[in-house]
Amino acid sequence: MTSQVAVWFDALHVGDVVVAPDGALTFVYSEKWLATNGAFPLSTTLPLARTHYPPEVISPWLANLLPEEEQLRLLTLTLGLDQADTLALLQEIGGDTAGALSFGAPSERAAWTYTPLTAFYGVDDPVVALDRHFDDLQRRPFLAGEDGVRLSLAGGQKKSALAVLNSRGEPVLRLPTDGDVLAIPRNGAPSTVILKPDNPNLPGIVENETYCLHLARAIGLTSAQASILSVGRRNAICVLRYDRRIGRNGLQRVHQEDFAQANGVPPGKKYERGTVAGPNLASLLTTGRHLSAADALSLLDYVIFNILIANTDAHAKNYSLLLPVGAAPRLAPLYDVSTVLPWPNVVQYFAQNLAGKKRKPGDIDARHWDRIAESVGYRPADVRARVTELVDRLVAHRVATEKTVSALSGHTSGYVEQAAREIEENALRISGRLRPSKMV
């Protein structure tokens, strides 16, 4: 006996994940989807074709849609499922995932509903409601098991996927402003924002990440839009989902996949170092082969930026491709960026080896940049020039960006200034080491 779980784009049947008697998963596109004008592939590893994709291709791709670590443990306890049963988990929570797809049931626009947090928790104050929501997430990630709620986000950090509603109760694609309402998507409705509350183990993480995203945008990189929400006893970063758009029929999903999925590795291999190595820096940069020349250079800028700010957790799941309807893949905006410099107890070594060795970002010099450039076929002189240019932009925009983020309601004083100062010092240290030096 075999069973299968349907994969949907809104109400369109994309294909099926087929479960063999031994539990092995395969994937096949539906004939109707293959004949659909503007059909997109699930992944660059799953091109549109009349074939059955084997377990080694589809299984890691699916696993990357689920939360990790403690979040996954709590989720499976709530649902009474095995952590290893990826498909069963997606049947339960895969109504609104990273990207455009739903698992098990279609996302019928007529059935979409949104429940304001105030109504869900039975309170009038939206701040109190959001505070209760974050407490709720400690016990059941993504409100798993709640009637009509099927939400999933990857990663190990506690977070929530919500929707911003305007004064008429309609979902809008913007960061919340006065008069807007935060609501829980139900019955296949798409979320529009991701909220990540502060973390006592990483003091200032909300201000830190918000500053880094604003800084990236200030120096010309495309980054996710973010702001800070005050939540009673705490604060949270609110990030606008870039895998959503407003179309002719209103809010729509845009398909995406992260670089772990695009390179066919499970979430446990998102870092280069480990018992079984994950993608190295050259692998991540050559993922740009799926992109236009301009986007491939933007990807290089993302990598340089992550090194300049010492975002040492820039693993394979922190870069993504957009796979929009009827168009070539594009590079997704930069997201999940923060500097580890204020937290000396957090790993200070970069997620991938730099020029073949485990290094701290601030220790990289001209020869290391040359090795990185040569590994992907770029001219070393061009890469060094680009590093210098981005450092100059970073220094030039530091003060204005610091003021912008420090002016946001809900921020805690001191954290933005600390992140800005330490990032600039690290970037200038790297810039000062660009003079050719002996390889170490």
Active site residue 313: yes
Between β-strands 234-240 and 244-247, what pairing exists: parallel, antiparallel or unpaired?
unpaired
Dig out the tokens for 302 from the structure. 């993302």
Q: Do 171 and 96 form a contact (C-beta atoms < 8 A)?
A: no
User: Residue 364 and residue 381: Cα distance in Å, rounded?
Assistant: 15
DSSP 8-state assignment for residue 434: -
Residue 393 CB neighbour total at 10 angstroms: 17
Q: What contacts 24+ positions apart, CB below 8 Å, involve 142-148?
A: 142/67, 142/75, 142/93, 143/184, 144/75, 144/78, 144/79, 144/92, 144/93, 145/78, 145/79, 146/184, 147/186, 148/113, 148/186, 148/187
- The answer to whether the Cα torsion of 179, 180, 186, 189 is positive or negative is positive
Catalytic residue among 198, 301, 313, 365: 313
SS (H, E, C) 369-382: HHHHHHHCCCCHHH
Angle of CA points 183, 185, 188, to nearest 5°: 170
User: Residue 82 and residue 92: Cα distance in Å, rounded?
Assistant: 12
- The answer to whether the Cα torsion of 217, 378, 43, 11 is positive or negative is positive
Catalytic site positions:
313
